[in-house]
A and B are shown apart, each in its own frame.
Chain A
Amino acid sequence: MCLSIPSKVVEIDEEKNIAVVDTMGVKRKASLDLMQEGEVKEGDFVLLHIGFVMNKIDEEDAKESIKVYKEILEKMDFDG
């Protein structure tokens, strides 16, 4: 039950402290009550858990991981 869904913030309602997020084409609302004020912005990647944004996904770290995986694949040079 600890699963969370990576999503992208498409809109922020500052008054209600809510973000509208896109989860692979499905739009839903998520509370920002567990995030610092102003921490989450439009276009950010976030983790969604039972109706709340629980944290931001660091874009650079994600990209770095993916880059490392590609390098490993190239080095291994096997056709899987």
Chain B
Amino acid sequence: MDRLELKNLYDDFRDPKTIKSFAKIIEEDAKKLKRDINIMEVCGGHTHTIMKYGLLQLLPENIDFIHGPGCPVCIMPKERIDHAYILSMQEDVILVTLGDMIKVPGSNGSLQKARSKGADVRFVYSPMDTLKIAKEHPDKKIIFFAIGFETTTPMTAALLDIVIKRDIKNIFFHINHVTVPEVMKELIDSRDVHVDSYNNQIDAFLGPSHVSVIAGSRIYEIFPKSYNRPVVVAGFEPVDVMEGISMIVKQFLQNRCELEIQYKRVVTFEGNIRAREMIDRYFEKRELFKWRGLGNIPKSALKLKDEYKKYDAEYIYKDILPLEEIEDHKLCICGDILRGMAKPTECTVFGTACKPENPIGSCMVSSEGACAAYYKYGNFLKQGKRNG
């Protein structure tokens, strides 16, 4: 190939023949494995690819997936959604957030519902759209409700950077950014607490694609070193995922336990240094953050540094934002699913009381959640070998 065309970046990484060739390589290699391997794909983007392209069907019986917690709206606890709802109901507030948040239910309902009750909620494509809204409404307080993993955090930081530099007085932030390595640690560490499960063994991780573009593969170094879990950072296209799986299988065959990058065309060990600096300038770790379905995880989320308090809606509105924790729905087993202890199809409310249009549990909330992906693409599972 002389010159790369844009369409190569799509077509060649979705090529059915290449996907099948990797399936064949994996099948041959897997025959030589001494035991079954459970791979956790941490990121919801990978879950989506795996289900959309039916990759589970292409894998041998002794390789299975545990669908991880890497869907930022799925793991958002109800109390945080309630914050968004309450803020949006303030008369002089316009709440701005990304489209992913539209349907996520809090205890009073979703932001869509808040809107139907008269709240001014704007769903935007980019945090930068907040600037235009603030300019058009100088009499209103514009609160950017920030969500997402490392991938999306620097964009919030870039918005704050502009707000400070231009001395914009009416933009504020409610920060809900979460971080990946801490929840990966939690999922391994909490394994001993949940020993009664039949399938909570994470043997290896398929590392997130775009979290790693920003943070660098360095954030996973600890897993092969201290947790004896290989990590392969893979891209989101189906060929990327299959090649990533193949690399993991080869590590087991060759008795290696390493951090490898499949997605070399964009991921480096150090990541995007400018973006990381931007994050470090404005954010610091929270002591604890509650993940829906998983509970409190130390140092797993970010907040604005104290010196930027005057932009922090959580601080400014602290008198009206409740801190009490809200229990997850009793019938929901999302916590078990996120820990790899159960498949979505084992949940009694899956596809009946809990559906994407009316989700009870976190994993049904976004198309990147394991339950929503099974619901949308999982028809084959009814006849298939992997029905729970």
Query: How many Å lie between the Cα of A47 and that of B15 in the bound state?
Result: 20
- A51 touches which one: B4, B44, B155, B209 (CB < 8 A)? B155
Q: Which residues of B contact A1 (CB under 8 A)?
A: 44, 71-73, 98, 100, 147-148, 151-152, 366, 368
Contacts A51-B155, A55-B272; A3 near B17 (Cβ below 8 A): no
Query: How many Å lie between the Cα of A66 and that of B149 in the bound state?
Result: 29
- Interface size range of chain A in the complex: 35 or more
Q: Which residues of A contact B98 (CB under 8 A)?
A: 1, 50
Residues of A contacting B: mostly = mixed
Query: How many Å lie between the Cα of A50 and that of B99 in the bound state?
Result: 11
Find the B residue at minimum CB distance from A72: B21
Query: How many Å lie between the Cα of A73 and that of B152 in the bound state?
Result: 36
Please state if A62 and B10 are interface contacts (CB–CB under 8 Å): no
Please state if B152 and A2 are interface contacts (CB–CB under 8 Å): yes
Contacts A72-B18, A72-B25; A2 near B208 (Cβ below 8 A): yes
Contacts A3-B45, A34-B155, A34-B272; A58 near B100 (Cβ below 8 A): no
Contacts A73-B17, A76-B21, A76-B24; A49 near B12 (Cβ below 8 A): no
Find the B residue at minimum CB distance from A51: B126
A14 → B minimal CB distance (Å): 16
Does residue B213 face the partner (Cβ distance < 8 Å to A)? yes
Q: Which residues of B contact A69 (CB under 8 A)?
A: 12, 15, 18, 21, 239
Q: Which residues of A contact B127 (CB under 8 A)?
A: 50-51
Query: How many Å lie between the Cα of A76 and that of B148 in the bound state?
Result: 41
A 1-41 to B, binary, CB cutoff 8 A, 1 in contact else 0: 11110111000000000000010100000010111100000
Q: Which residues of A contact B15 (CB under 8 A)?
A: 69
Does residue B119 face the partner (Cβ distance < 8 Å to A)? no
Contacts A33-B161, A49-B152; A59 near B4 (Cβ below 8 A): yes
Find the B residue at minimum CB distance from A77: B21
Q: Which residues of B contact A51 (CB under 8 A)?
A: 125-129, 155
Does residue B8 face the partner (Cβ distance < 8 Å to A)? yes
Find the A residue at minimum CB distance from B72: A1
Query: How many Å lie between the Cα of A36 and that of B270 in the bound state?
Result: 14
Query: How many Å lie between the Cα of A55 and that of B209 in the bound state?
Result: 12
Binding site for B on A (CB under 8 A): 1-4, 6-8, 22, 24, 31, 33-36, 45, 47, 49-52, 54-59, 61-63, 65-67, 69, 72-73, 76, 78, 80
8 interchain pairs (CB within 8 A)?
A1-B71, A2-B43, A50-B98, A57-B265, A66-B8, A69-B18, A76-B24, A78-B20
- By Cβ-Cβ distance, the 4 closest A-B pairs, closest first, are A51-B126, A80-B17, A61-B265, A6-B9
Known: A55-B272, A62-B9. 19 other contacts (CB 8 A): A1-B366, A2-B45, A2-B70, A2-B148, A31-B128, A45-B4, A49-B151, A49-B210, A50-B125, A50-B126, A50-B152, A51-B126, A52-B128, A55-B213, A58-B266, A61-B265, A65-B243, A73-B18, A80-B21
